[in-house]
Amino acid sequence: MAELDVDAMITRFRERALAVKQRPLPPVAGDERAKFVAQAQTDFRDFAIIGDATGSVEDGCLVLRVDLRPDDQKG
């Protein structure tokens, strides 16, 4: 098995978050448009959370640390 490059993986998630944010809306309206927008918001949030993580491999397990505190409370 190839060694996991955790930093590269986190970078890919940052890039995915940016791609979702820049994704154009398809030509849909009504409920389908609302579903697309909701899914894009969820995708962005999920990718951004991982993109903000610090990661490591410890004892064979991928460990991601995400500080969810507001910026003014981070140390």
Q: Is residue 54, in this structure, part of any structural domain at all?
A: yes
In a domain, 1, yes or no: no
Q: Which neighbouring-strand residues pair with 62?
A: 57
Looking at the 3D structure of the chain, how many domains does it have?
Answer: 1
Residue span of the structural domain in which 27 resides? 6-69
Within a domain: residue 55?
yes
The pLDDT score that the predictor gives to residue 49 is 95
d(CA 65, CA 9): 14
24 located within any domain: yes
Q: How far apart are CA 13 and CA 49, in angstroms?
A: 9
> pLDDT (tens digit, 9 = 90+) per residue, 14-57?
999 999 999 998 888 999 999 999 999 999 999 999 999 999 99
